[in-house]
Amino acid sequence: MTGLQGDERASLHDGGGDVSELASGHGRAAGTTTPSSWWLVDAEQRVLAGPFSSRLDAALAELSSPGVEVAPLYPAHGVRRDDGTLASRFSPDDRAWLAHLSDQLDRLADDWDALIDDADPLTGLVCEVAAAVAEAGLPLHDCAGRTESRQLGGVCLTPAPGEHGVLVSWTQHDRMALGRVRGHAADLAAQDVMNHALAGVLAAFGFELEPFGDASGHIVRAAGSPPGLTEWE
């Protein structure tokens, strides 16, 4: 696929008119509001190329562009306004993600219903932590036993209202956690490594956390404010 050419980018960043047509044949973005689709936008949500049929097509168009010293572009889904900026809209990918996150939250332990109400700040915090864990590609452990995958292990999120936070720890597969098929030392080592890996991921995502107790679990007390969050209309 042929991406944005250098002069196309330059003219747009200089405040040129409509989005230039790509050599890939995706066509030019209309000067009026268009149906929801994928676009390439800059950090200020200005549409610089599109529409594209998928996030992948938009990303490939950016990657295949010649090296030009301009601000990076990002694939984004939404409606192009008359002024050339993007009004973000949920994409099919977003809906699939929300369904996946809902499935993961259903795995939280019953303690969350018993100890924490919907208005408690920990409710919002555990949703943030669960989303971060899922974005990192890690499953939540089915602590409540609501699915057939409880034995698989994963990330445990336990309410710790006395600590004003969420206790984050790792649970191995039942073969290790209960059966000790590799021995007790290996079981402890695996849990220690994964607990510290989890802490590293959450710290990288901007969460505030600290070690908890004698084990290697961590308490998450607050969510960070990572850049690039999408504002929906």
pLDDT in tens, 107-137: 888 878 777 777 788 888 999 999 999 999 9
Average pLDDT estimate for 224-229: 50
Look at residue 33 and tell me whether its pLDDT is greater than 60.
no
Look at residue 163 and tell me whether its pLDDT is greater than 50.
yes
Q: Band the pLDDT of 172: cuts 50, 70, 90.
A: confident
Q: What is the pLDDT of residue 100?
A: 92
Domain range annotation of the chain: 6-88, 92-222
* 8 Å CB contact between 115 and 109: no
Look at residue 24 and tell me whether its pLDDT is greater than 70.
no
The model carries a pTM of 0.67
Q: The tokens of 193 are what?
A: 């490594």
Q: What is the pLDDT of residue 224?
A: 61
Q: The tokens of 46 are what?
A: 């200005």
DSSP state of 233: -
Rounded to whole angstroms, the Cα distance separating 146 from 161 reads 24
Look at residue 233 and tell me whether its pLDDT is greater than 60.
no
Rounded to whole angstroms, the Cα distance separating 132 from 127 reads 9
Look at residue 171 and tell me whether its pLDDT is greater than 50.
yes
Three-class secondary structure of residue 160 per DSSP: strand
Percent of the chain surpassing pLDDT 70:
78
Look at residue 32 and tell me whether its pLDDT is greater than 60.
no
Q: The tokens of 15 are what?
A: 């405040």
Q: What is the pLDDT of residue 109?
A: 82
Rounded to whole angstroms, the Cα distance separating 203 from 195 reads 12
Q: Band the pLDDT of 34: cuts 50, 70, 90.
A: low
Q: Does 202 or 27 have the greater pLDDT score? A: 202
Angle at 42 between CA 86 and CA 80, to 5 degrees: 15
Look at residue 168 and tell me whether its pLDDT is greater than 50.
yes
DSSP state of 5: -
Q: The tokens of 178 are what?
A: 């209960």
Note the pLDDT tens digit of each residue in 36-45. Answer: 889 999 888 8
Q: What is the pLDDT of residue 16?
A: 38
Q: What is the pLDDT of residue 23?
A: 37
Q: What is the pLDDT of residue 188?
A: 85
Q: What is the pLDDT of residue 65?
A: 62
